[in-house]
Structure 1
C-alpha cells in the first residue's frame, strides 16, 4: 500500500511538472503574439504618418525611405520634399521651402541634363529629361552630322539666327556652329565658332 501511495505521488508530481511546462509554453506563445502585434501596430502607425506627410511621393519611395538604408552619396527626396544625400551614414538635406517635389535632372553618357532639357544621346536618339527619367525617340538612321545651339538641333549645312537674332549661324560638320556678324558694309565675316 505504501508502494501504491509512492507511485501515486510520483505520478501526481509528473503531471504537475507537465502542467507547469505547458503553462510556461503558453506564456511564451502569448509573449510572441504580443511582440508581433506590437511590431505590426508600430509599422502601421509609421506608414500612416508617412502617408499623411508624404505629399506626392510614391508608396515605393515612402517605404524605401522608411525601411531601407541608402548607399554613400545616394540622393533621395524625403517626406517633406527636401533633396537629401547619404554622407557616410548621415543624411544631408537641402531644404525645399515650398514643399513641392523638385524636378530631378538626368544623367546620360556621364553628362547631366536638367528637367525638360532635350539632347541627343550617343546613338543620336532625340532624348528629353523627364524628372530624372531619360525618354528617347529611337533613331534608326544612325547619327547625321548635327549641331546643338540654344537647345535646338540642326543638321550640317543648316543656317539659323544666333541668340541675338540679327546674325546668322551655320551648323558645320563635326557638330561645330559658326556664327557670322553683319559688318557695316553688309558683307559677312566669320566672327566666332562655338
Structure 2
C-alpha cells in the first residue's frame, strides 16, 4: 500500500500537478459553453498554462530533488486526464477528432498494460522517451490551435488532427519496440 509523507503534498511540483487537475473542469466548462471567440481564447490559455505547469513541475522536481512517490502518480494522472478531456471536448466541434480519441485510447491502454506486466517482472520504463515527449508537445500545440480557433477551415483542422494522429502512431510504434526489447532482456 502506498503512503505519502505530509511534506509530499506541499512540494511545489505536486502542487503544480494539483493545479493542473483543478484546471480540467475549468477548461471543460469554459470550452463547452463558449459562445464567443474570447471564450475559446480563454480555454486555450488555460491549456497552455496547464502545459507550462507540466514542464515546470518536472523541471523543479529534478533540479531541486523534489521527486516524490506522490508526484510519480499525480503528474501522469494530471497529464492523461487533461489530454483525455481535451480530446473529448474537441469531439463536439471536430468530427475527425474521433480518430484521435481512438488512437489515443489504444496507445494509452497499450502503455498501461505493458507497464503493468513489466512491473510484475521487476522492470520499469524509465520515464518518457524523446518520441513520447515530441508527440505530447505536438499534441498540445495542435490542440491549443484547435481550441483557440474552432472555426478554422476543415482543411487546416484536418491537417492538425493528422499531425496528432501521425505522432501518436509513431509514439505507439516506438514504445512498442522499447517494450519488446524490455521483454527480451
For normalisation by structure 1, the TM-score amounts to: 0.21
Name the structure where strand makes up a greater proportion of residues.
1
Which fold has the larger relative contact order, with Cα–Cα distance below 8 Å and residues 6 or more apart in sequence?
Answer: 2
| Larger helix share, 1 or 2 | 2
Larger Rg: 1
Normalising by structure 2, report the TM-score.
0.22
